[in-house]
Structure 1
Amino acid sequence: MRWHFAIRTRWSIALSVFILFLVIPGCKPKEDVQLRQIKDVIVDATSEPLLKANAILYNPNNIRMMVKKIDMEVFVDGKKAAVIDQQMKLKVPAQAEFTVPLEVKLNMKEIGLLDAVFAVIGGKKFQIHYKGTIRLQYKGVPFSVPVNHKEEIRIRL
């Protein structure tokens, strides 16, 4: 009789695990959140070189989510200039655009301080490449959305 109970318990556990594997993938939204553009790019060079910007994203799903973490590398003219590692709790509306503020400390050693100063004075165009992931959460289930966005900006004093 004990062996019968043990077999029934094992089958119950196996069935529960199987159902969990079917349900959890359904918690992820059908479509990925899309990075539309990065705007309002400001370089603040007063104390530490700091790049501030707003990432405009779009949630095509009919469900609300939460942005938990942004983990990206920023390349300026092909050189790694910064790493974005921001923790946050930002509500994402359903089927709407939303803004995520970015704040990045620039690595002037990689860019070259003198080159950067002359480029800013001359109004040079920079090729900015954002590459990494945005970590979101839906009903407690985390998932990542890849980001690979390039744009050209001109910085002037």
Structure 2
Amino acid sequence: MKFYRSIYFLAIFSAAMVLINSCNTAVTPPTFVTMRDVRFAGIKGNSVHIKGNAIFNNPNAFSVDLVKLNLVLKSEGKDIGRINQDTLVNMPASGEFPIPITANLTFKEGGNLFNQALGLLTKNEIVVQYSGTATLKVVGVEIPVPVNTEQKISL
């Protein structure tokens, strides 16, 4: 009987050690890489809508879920729009992946919407700064990942 208790204890101890070691896997937050396929999607009210793909890189050996994307867009130091998207997108493991987004550009700082939108669209390219957070869900836990980058967008 003592022999079976020893084997039972050893089995429980081994299982506990396996579980503890598997929980020590470090999660590296996915990073925002760039925007691709940015295109004009229309004007509605006082805002211009653009669509594109936000490209993220997931360096982990497991997939994670993107649940929110909240970004402020600036050009030439002026707040030109926001991306506020509540969505559930699965990010595959170990690689880059696109997330379709819609951005609403509002031109609040001086000038009218038409003149500012026309000014942006007549340039060959503009520099857009993205700042905010992407909220990821990893094993049921939400993790905010900071986004702070800029990119030249050809129009």
TM-score (norm 1): 0.73
The question of whether the paired residues in 2 share the 8 Å contact of 1:56 and 1:98 is answered with: yes
Give the aligned partner of residue 59 of structure 2: 60
The alpha-carbon deviation at position 44 of structure 1 amounts to 2.6
Say whether residues 1:43 and 2:40 are aligned partners.
Answer: yes
Q: For 2:139, give the aligned amino acid.
A: K
Q: 1:28 to 1:52 in 2, by over 3 A?
A: farther
Q: 1:27 to 1:140 in 2, by over 3 A?
A: farther
Give the aligned partner of residue 116 of structure 2: 115
Deviations 1:119-146 (A, max 9, x none): 42x3343110110110000111110111
SS in 2 for 1:152: strand
The alpha-carbon deviation at position 107 of structure 1 amounts to 0.5
In the aligned structure 1, how far is the partner of 2:30 from the partner of 2:129?
A: 18
Q: What is the RMSD computed on CA atoms of the aligned residues?
A: 2.3
Q: For 2:34, give the aligned amino acid.
A: Q
The alpha-carbon deviation at position 149 of structure 1 amounts to 1.4
In the aligned structure 1, how far is the partner of 2:56 from the partner of 2:77?
A: 24
Give the aligned partner of residue 126 of structure 2: 126
**What is the number of residues matched between the two proteins?**
131
The alpha-carbon deviation at position 92 of structure 1 amounts to 1.0
The question of whether the paired residues in 2 share the 8 Å contact of 1:60 and 1:95 is answered with: yes
Q: For 1:37, give the aligned amino acid.
A: T
Alignment of 1:6-155 (within 5 A): 26=24, 29=27, 31-47=28-44, 48-110=47-109, 112=111, 113=113, 114-120=115-121, 122-155=122-155
**Share of identical aligned residues, percent?**
27
Flag as ranges the 4+ runs of structure 1 deviating above 6 A. Answer: none
Structure number having the greater strand percentage: 2
In the aligned structure 2, how far is the partner of 1:109 from the partner of 1:146?
A: 25
In the aligned structure 1, how far is the partner of 2:119 from the partner of 2:131?
A: 26
Q: What are structure 1's unaligned runs of at least 5 residues?
A: 1-21
Q: For 1:92, give the aligned amino acid.
A: M
TM-score (norm 2): 0.74
Structure number having the greater helix percentage: 1
Q: For 2:63, give the aligned amino acid.
A: R
SS in 2 for 1:117: helix
In the aligned structure 2, how far is the partner of 1:119 from the partner of 1:98?
A: 28
Q: 1:125 to 1:61 in 2, by over 3 A?
A: same
